[in-house]
């Protein structure tokens, strides 16, 4: 009888742990898709390892696509939310909007829509901000960076102001194209995100 109670107790504990485990959905572009890298070395894979190491049972779904824009993410997000039912959505989009010279106001609208959709599905949202190189002009680069801050303030969600902080502008941490972080930078990307992400789990 005692063995039965112990077994039942262990089963209930496992069920409780599984019930508490959630899904983290990452909707991003080439930086999160691991462009030019073995994806096992990318920051998303490092995040999965960190979660396990720190005792979290959350599943990570990486729905990032190289070349994606905020408009593309907005279009495909509803299906992703319906399929994966995440507890947390990490939005890492906008870099390609900036490189293509798209209006920061449109970026802001797309991000706001994705935040609203994620929340309506019951998920928390973390926004990863981006910045552009200075050669895009001071006025545009400032408006671009402010789009992330404005939408985060408006929607009252946590923001990592510059996802590539400490990486962008450092040739030794970038691939030869100067746009994508190298393998050696992936740990830094995770460290940029982790302090803001962990309290949301």
What does DSSP assign to residue 40?
Answer: G
Residue among 181, 157, 179 nearest 167 (CA): 181
Secondary structure (3-state) at 181: strand
Active site annotation includes 180: yes
Catalytic hit among 30, 70, 118, 121: 30
Catalytic hit among 53, 172, 176, 177: 177
Joined together, the tokens standing for residue 119 give 């929340």
Cβ atoms of 31 and 181 within 8 Å: the answer is yes
Q: What's the Rg (C-alpha) of the chain? A: 19
Cβ atoms of 86 and 49 within 8 Å: the answer is no
Beta pairing partners, 174: 181
User: Which position has the token pair 């190289």?
Assistant: 66
Active site annotation includes 177: yes
Residue 10 CB neighbours (<10 A): 10
Catalytic hit among 32, 45, 64, 180: 180
Residues belonging to the active site: 30, 177, 180
């Amino acid at each position: 009888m005692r063995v039965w109670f112990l077994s039942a107790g262990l089963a209930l504990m496992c069920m409780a742990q599984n019930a508490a485990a959630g899904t983290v959905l990452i909707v991003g572009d080439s930086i999160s898709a691991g462009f030019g890298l073995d994806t096992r070395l990318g920051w998303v894979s490092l995040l999965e390892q960190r979660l396990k190491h720190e005792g979290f049972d959350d599943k990570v779904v990486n729905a990032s696509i190289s070349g994606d824009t905020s408009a593309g993410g907005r279009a495909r997000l509803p299906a992703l939310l319906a399929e994966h039912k995440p507890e947390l959505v990490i939005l890492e989009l906008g870099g390609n909007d900036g490189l293509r010279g798209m209006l920061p106001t449109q970026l802001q609208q797309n991000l706001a829509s994705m935040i609203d959709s994620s929340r309506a599905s019951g998920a928390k949202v973390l926004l990863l901000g981006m910045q552009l190189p200075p050669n895009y002009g001071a006025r545009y680069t400032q408006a671009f960076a402010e789009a992330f801050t404005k939408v985060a303030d408006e929607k009252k969600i946590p923001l990592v102001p510059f996802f590539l902080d400490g990486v962008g502008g450092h040739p030794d941490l970038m691939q030869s194209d100067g746009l994508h972080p190298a393998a050696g930078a992936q740990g830094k990307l995770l460290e940029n995100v982790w302090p803001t992400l962990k309290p949301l789990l």
